[in-house]
Each structure stands twice: as structure tokens, then as C-alpha cells.
Amino acid sequence: MYIGIWSVLFAIVVFDARECRIPNKLVVLLLAVVFGDLYIIHDGLLNIPSQYWLGGVVAFLVCFALYLGRLMGAGDVKLIGALGFWVGLESLLPFASAIILMGAVQSIFYLAQKLAISQLDIKQHVNQYLAHNIYGRLTRAPIDAIEMRIPFAPAIVVALAVYPIIG
């Protein structure tokens, strides 16, 4: 089952890195394989401990709140919810810590890449960001926000691989 789970995760990472979105079909397939893994390990549906169900629900609800605040994409919310079901409530905090750490590392690399290919220096980027995203929102000015989309599934999957080491 691990090969199936990691195969689906690999497909999700490739799709998200290429298109900055995660298809619902892949998340449903991941959830089915995770459910099958837990079903086999615990000898049936009724024997799956509640900590796994709670892990999925808590992970989904926390990430859904972040989605409502426009801090996370919908596909990432569903992916973390499915993985929360697999890791369970007891491992959710180390997993979340690993996601934050891996997301920060990935974001630094994406920002460094953007600065490297840009004609602007870092001070100009900061001023541009403040003018568009902060000042524009505060004054409700008709300024389009500067958006930098970073696929988050790679950080989530790497976090899944390293959270046992970190936690």
C-alpha cells in the first residue's frame, strides 16, 4: 500500500508543480488508498482508531480556516486533510511543524529565483509589494494585487517524508 500512496503523492506533486493546482480525482484516489491501508492494517472499518479519523478532520478544518483567509489553496487543504487521516491526530503536530518548515524553505527558494530573474532589486520588490498588496487593500484602491503562486504540494509531501525525523 505504501507504494500506492507514494505513487499517488508523486503524481500530485508533479501535477501541482506543473499547473499550480491539485486535481480532486488524485486527492480522492489518495484518500481511497490511505483508507485501504488503514483498513488492512487495523482489520476492518470499525477497528480503525478514532485518532486517525480525528487527524483527518482536524487537519482539514484548520487548513479550511486558512483557505477562508486566502492563505492556502483548496487542493492543499484537501491533500493535508487526506494525509492527516493517514498520520492520525497524535502525529499531526510534528507533521504540521514539518509542513511549515518545508514550506518556508521552498518559499525562500522561489523568492530567490524570482529575485534572480528580475530586473528589480530587493528594495524595489518590497516597495512594490507594499504598494500593491498592503496599501492597495487598506485604501481599497483599484490596484491589482501582486500574486506569486507557489505550488505547496511538494513541501507537503517532503514534510510527510521527514516529519518522523523532525518530531
CB 66 within 8 A of CB 152: no
Which three cell numbers, joined as nine digits, stand for 8? Answer: 499517488
**Global pTM value:** 0.85
pLDDT of residue 45: 86
pLDDT of residue 137: 59
22 within 8 A of 79, measured Cβ to Cβ: yes
| pLDDT < 70 stretches in the chain | 132-148, 167
pLDDT in tens, 59-94: 999 999 999 988 899 999 999 999 999 999 999 999
Every domain of the chain and the residues it spans = 2-166
**Confidence at residue 116, expressed as pLDDT on a 0 to 100 scale:** 85
